[in-house]
Amino acid sequence: MLRMLFRFTALVSLLFLSITAQGQRIPNSSIALQVNGQVRYAQGGRPAEFILVRLESFGGGVSGETTTDRSGKFTFTGLMSELYIVSVRVAGFREVQHQVDLRTQVTDYVQLQLVADDKAPDVSSSKRGVVNASVPNEARAEFEKGREALLQAYNADPGILHLENAVRLYPKYSEAMLLLGTAYMDKQDWDKAESRLRQVLVLEPKATAAHFALGELYLRQKKYKAAEQDTLEGLKLDDRSAQGHFLLGRLYYELGDIVKAGPQVGTTLRLNPRFAPGHLLAGNILLRARQPENALAEFEAYLYLEPNGKYSEKARETVDRIKQALAKR
């Protein structure tokens, strides 16, 4: 059983960064710990499709987020042996939570029901990734086709066509606009990407995902001030977003400010210790801070979590170089 957890810290008064082992265990990869479940509306019993489900460890920290499919089902995999809380928050409904104990079992199945709450506060549904229930079926079908096309095809054009149709059929379809923004971003069509993402914020000012997507958009264009502004706006709305803190860490790293980058990556890994890109960025920051031993631990953590990832080969090469350099000391 491999034992590892690396918490990222920064001493602001010195250019000094460190990763410290905390004794967290990542389970043997041959044992697939997972949580499956389904979300339904209490009234009528129909599946709650495209609803954001959050998984948090009992001690705090987001372990994962996923969206229910058309039958209201969801799955979390690659989990550790510990207590978790599955939660769903939907505007107009009571928050529902369920405790899951994976210390004595490898899987659990959760049934969650959404009960209407007329006294619920007016929370933006897009902040939690909830799709507007008033979306017409035809528009929703186009959205599904577009999302599926983007997932399966190297050419984004068919998916974009379906998503644009969805927006044409339902002009307030903020989730389709958000996906269009990211699709145009991947095509480096910056103007269309920015336009669609800004439209999301017009409809849903508290849409954290749109703020983070704009932060990514500006970061790719090296518009650092704008990237920082939108990312910080997103974190004001959801300061427990590992994605947001990681994005801010990347931004500061690109600017060469490892004192600011370090705490952001540290927060990312505290919120989600199994977030492989966070370990990769931590390793790069520690190398820049001239801490090869700690950097080596982070690169190895990345490779353990993502052995066949996009940057795995480069990470292995870096691990070999660090080991060779340490051996010569």
Domain CATH for 289: 1.25.40.10
Decide if 129 is inside a domain: no
Radius of gyration of the chain from its Cα atoms, rounded to whole angstroms: 21
* Structural contact between residues 93 and 131, judged by C-beta atoms closer than 8 angstroms: no
* Structural contact between residues 174 and 132, judged by C-beta atoms closer than 8 angstroms: yes
Q: Are residues 32 and 19 in the same domain?
A: no
Q: Are residues 262 and 192 in the same domain?
A: no
Decide if 289 is inside a domain: yes
Decide if 276 is inside a domain: yes
Choose the final residue of a domain: 195, 218, 235.
235
CA-nearest of 66, 73, 70, 68 to 51 is 68
* Structural contact between residues 2 and 25, judged by C-beta atoms closer than 8 angstroms: yes
Give the residue numbers spanning the domain of 37: 27-123
Q: How far apart are the first and last CA of the chain?
A: 30
Q: Are residues 91 and 106 in the same domain?
A: yes
Decide if 213 is inside a domain: yes
Parallel, antiparallel or unpaired: strands 96-101 and 62-67: unpaired
Choose the final residue of a domain: 69, 91, 123.
123
Distance CA 175, CA 227 (A): 21
Q: Are residues 329 and 247 in the same domain?
A: yes
pLDDT in tens, the chain (329 residues): 333 333 333 332 222 334 333 333 333 444 457 888 899 888 878 888 878 888 887 656 667 778 888 788 888 887 887 888 898 887 778 888 888 888 777 778 888 998 886 543 333 333 333 445 578 889 989 988 888 888 776 678 999 999 999 999 999 998 899 989 999 998 999 999 999 999 999 998 988 889 999 999 999 999 999 999 999 999 998 888 888 999 999 999 999 999 999 999 999 888 888 788 999 999 999 999 999 999 999 999 999 988 888 899 999 999 999 999 999 88
Distance CA 37, CA 108 (A): 8
Q: Are residues 251 and 291 in the same domain?
A: yes
* Structural contact between residues 283 and 303, judged by C-beta atoms closer than 8 angstroms: no
Choose the final residue of a domain: 67, 91, 123.
123
Decide if 128 is inside a domain: no
* Total tally of structural domains belonging to the chain: 3
